[in-house]
Structure 1
Amino acid sequence: MSDTQPSPSAPLAPIAVRAAAPAVLPEPDEAMTGLTWRPLTRADVPVLAALVARTEEFDAQPSRTSEVEVAEGFDGDWKDPARDSRVGLDSDGVPRAWMAVDVPPGDVRTVRAYVSGGVDPAWRGRGIGRALMSWATSRARQKLAESGKDVPGRIAVFIEDHRADAVALYRAAGFTPIRYYAEMRRDLSLPLPEVRPVPGVRLEPWSDALDDAVRVAHNEAFADHWGSEPRTPESWQIGRAMFAPQWSHVAVDEATGEVAGYTVAGRYEHDWPVAGYTSGYSELLGVRRAWRGKGLSVALLTASMRSFLADGMQYAELDVDTANPSGAHGLYASLGYEVTHGSALFTIEL
């Protein structure tokens, strides 16, 4: 799959020009939508989480968002909910639709504006989604222009493959699929891979002492991965409510003490009733270039699988970019992982 962003050698107009940001945002119309609109605040977390739960259940999402994860959406000094979010309230003050825009702070190769939101199933078919989409893409353009980063720009959203309604909405707003992802799982009742020790490298449990060194190693390991951007110290710490350090592992070079690779796992217990089984989720797996080709990925992934199994988990899960040049999809398949469902990244490239 070829990238659609401009060639690095092609001259780029300033991001402020390419973003074509409107001077005034097209706020959702109260008369048309039947809702009163305002920015989201952290005080909205409980009722917003309830709205998210209604939409995810109706849309048969394969995973769910906990209230703790909704609260994490407000974390980060770079975020400005007053300018970057909207919620629509009915006459009883109940949230019926929401939208937010987030631009990660560490982007250097492509500056990205992620949009997310939804509409209460009982309020669909009234043009609310289109109104929110107009607001969100306009605000994303403003934020990209404000970034001052004269690199390729991207407005992006992840959509599960089965969401034909969402796909139609975003396509109508100018989004097109640019990358595809597969969710995979492995039955832990099957024999685990036999792993040979990697000479000169030891596997250690996750520790706070290694945490930032893993962040730096992650930024290096993923520098050649499509769509990946550096994590700042702050953004690295955000979104860790489901982080499972007891299932995460670090490969350390014995001669230098450097982090050679790592695996970061999450424990999403609120997803288990929906899935119908318990699982450990491998969120990140990376090996720095100097240590690749030694079997370290298999060793790290197997270490996590053993940790999952020791805690009584039935499956190991992860997701993978199907066009990943490292061949990760084939590696996971060879270890017994099978595809359960997929998603796509839809974008407007600027």
Structure 2
Amino acid sequence: MIGSGSAECTVNFPSLRWKSAGTDDVGAWAELIARTAAVEKPVWFERRPELEQIMESRKNPPEGNTVLGFGPDGVARAYARITKNPESGKAYGFGCVDPAWQRRGVGSALLEWLEARTRQRFVEDRGPAARLRIHNEQQHEHQAALFARHGYSVVRYFNEMHRPLTGSLPEVGVDQEFELVAMGPELSEAVRLAHNDAFRDHWGSEPKDEESWGFIVNDPQSRPDLSAVVLERATGTVAGYQLATYDPDSAVTRGFSEGYTDLLGVRREFRGRGIASALLADAMRRFAGEGLDVASLDVDSENPTGALALYLKMGYQPVNRSLAWDKSLG
């Protein structure tokens, strides 16, 4: 039994012992994800520092919103978790199954738990009809088959894009009425508000409150020194921003080092002024100065701002694709 609010969800796979993730489980949880990643080779996966952040969530506390399955040998073999903003019309699901325990029905049992817990969260939040969204990489065909069998449909595609940092890099600056400055903690709240404004017209985006924004700017891989903000000189208004992360382990797992643009946004009233191009060019120079091999980012294939065309113009090329799957839960 997994406690969750006023009711309980069960995982229908009795061969594993199930419980919500606790502080003492973080190490076993991280080892499970790492074992799975070693076989499935995802572009990104959660490591212990990210899991420690998850344990601190107030909106999505691990009690009731996570589940870990342990084998008879005491080793963690599967997990699932959901996140949901109280006012949102969707929840997000995450999870994995140890390769040694795949093809036994564990994945189906986890999906059923995710759906049951999602329905409960919508009842607790007095929200609209429940909907669950799960992302996966196109290379993981076994996951796609599982989602399709359980009634999920692809609702969006995303492209991972790379730009080599060898050779000449674009020289793009901002107009005189703007100033490009390094990201710092004093700008965090202003950038959060600018992000919420810039992403109002982006598919699937939801406003970032202080907790969810804190997970971004305090991410263990966050690199403010590789990030930048464009300010309007006359008012000090944040016109655009580029927030970067760097994963030192990616050079080992992927064979190259990369600076990753986690968030790039320009407020509507400042679009068409070359700000995004200037931020990307600045990011490339910062990444190259750090000795990194590649600048990378992800983009919604149907982004309404024309971001895909901009990235191609700046020399980025698609290298991988991921999918968003949705299921209405009634």
Q: Please state which band the TM-score falls in when normalised by the shorter chain.
A: over 0.9
1:228 corresponds in structure 2 to 205
Q: What is the 5 A alignment of 1:10-89?
A: 25-30=9-14, 34-89=15-70
2:98 corresponds in structure 1 to 120
1:145 corresponds in structure 2 to 123
Q: Could you tell which deviates more after superposition, 192-201 or 117-126?
A: 192-201
Q: CA deviation at 1:24?
A: 6.0
Task: Check whether the contact 2:230–2:241 (CA below 8 A) recurs between aligned residues.
Answer: yes
Task: Check whether the contact 1:64–1:271 (CA below 8 A) recurs between aligned residues.
Answer: no
Count of aligned pairs: 322
Q: Could you tell which deviates more after superposition, 140-149 or 180-189?
A: 140-149
Task: Check whether the contact 1:242–1:266 (CA below 8 A) recurs between aligned residues.
Answer: yes
1:243 corresponds in structure 2 to 222
Instruction: Tell me, yes or no, if structure 1 residue 185 matches structure 2 residue 166.
Output: no
Instruction: Tell me, yes or no, if structure 1 residue 295 matches structure 2 residue 274.
Output: yes
> What amino acid is aligned across from residue 206 of structure 1 in structure 2?
M
Q: Scaled by the length of structure 1, what TM-score is found?
A: 0.88
Counterpart-to-counterpart distance in 2, 1:223 and 1:98: 32
What percent identity do the matched residue pairs reach? 36
**Alpha-carbon displacement from aligned partner over 1:94-130 (angstroms, at most 9, x marks no partner):** 111111111135x5xx422111111111111211111
SS at match of 2:60: coil
2:313 corresponds in structure 1 to 334
Instruction: Tell me, yes or no, if structure 1 residue 134 matches structure 2 residue 112.
Output: yes
Task: Check whether the contact 2:174–2:180 (CA below 8 A) recurs between aligned residues.
Answer: no
Picking from 54, 64, 79, the partner of 1:98 is 79
Structure 2: state its 5+ residue gaps.
1-6
SS at match of 1:252: strand
2:238 corresponds in structure 1 to 259
Q: Could you tell which deviates more after superposition, 271-280 or 314-323?
A: 271-280
Task: Check whether the contact 1:181–1:342 (CA below 8 A) recurs between aligned residues.
Answer: yes
> What amino acid is aligned across from residue 128 of structure 1 in structure 2?
V
Counterpart-to-counterpart distance in 1, 2:199 and 2:13: 42
Picking from 150, 174, 189, the partner of 1:173 is 150
Q: CA deviation at 1:29?
A: 3.4
Instruction: Tell me, yes or no, if structure 1 residue 213 matches structure 2 residue 209.
Output: no
Task: Check whether the contact 2:201–2:304 (CA below 8 A) recurs between aligned residues.
Answer: no
Counterpart-to-counterpart distance in 2, 1:121 and 1:278: 27
Instruction: Tell me, yes or no, if structure 1 residue 345 matches structure 2 residue 328.
Output: no
Q: What is the 5 A alignment of 1:272-287?
A: 272-287=251-266
SS at match of 1:111: coil
> What amino acid is aligned across from residue 311 of structure 2 in structure 1?
Y
Counterpart-to-counterpart distance in 1, 2:315 and 2:76: 43
Task: Check whether the contact 2:163–2:296 (CA below 8 A) recurs between aligned residues.
Answer: yes
SS at match of 2:90: strand
Q: CA deviation at 1:281?
A: 0.4
Counterpart-to-counterpart distance in 2, 1:175 and 1:72: 29
Change (3 A) 1:310 1:144: same
Counterpart-to-counterpart distance in 2, 1:84 and 1:328: 34
Q: CA deviation at 1:209?
A: 1.0
**Alpha-carbon displacement from aligned partner over 1:274-323 (angstroms, at most 9, x marks no partner):** 21111100010001011111000000111111111111111100000011
Counterpart-to-counterpart distance in 2, 1:60 and 1:267: 18
2:293 corresponds in structure 1 to 314
**Alpha-carbon displacement from aligned partner over 1:55-82 (angstroms, at most 9, x marks no partner):** 1111121334322122222232112222
Q: CA deviation at 1:26?
A: 4.3
Task: Check whether the contact 2:54–2:62 (CA below 8 A) recurs between aligned residues.
Answer: no
Q: CA deviation at 1:346?
A: 0.5
> What amino acid is aligned across from residue 98 of structure 2 in structure 1?
D
The Cα RMSD (Å) is 1.7
1:8 corresponds in structure 2 to none
Structure 1: state its 5+ residue gaps.
1-22
Task: Check whether the contact 2:82–2:92 (CA below 8 A) recurs between aligned residues.
Answer: yes
Counterpart-to-counterpart distance in 2, 1:158 and 1:217: 26
Counterpart-to-counterpart distance in 1, 2:149 and 2:69: 22
Q: CA deviation at 1:188?
A: 0.6
Counterpart-to-counterpart distance in 2, 1:99 and 1:161: 20
Q: Scaled by the length of structure 2, what TM-score is found?
A: 0.93
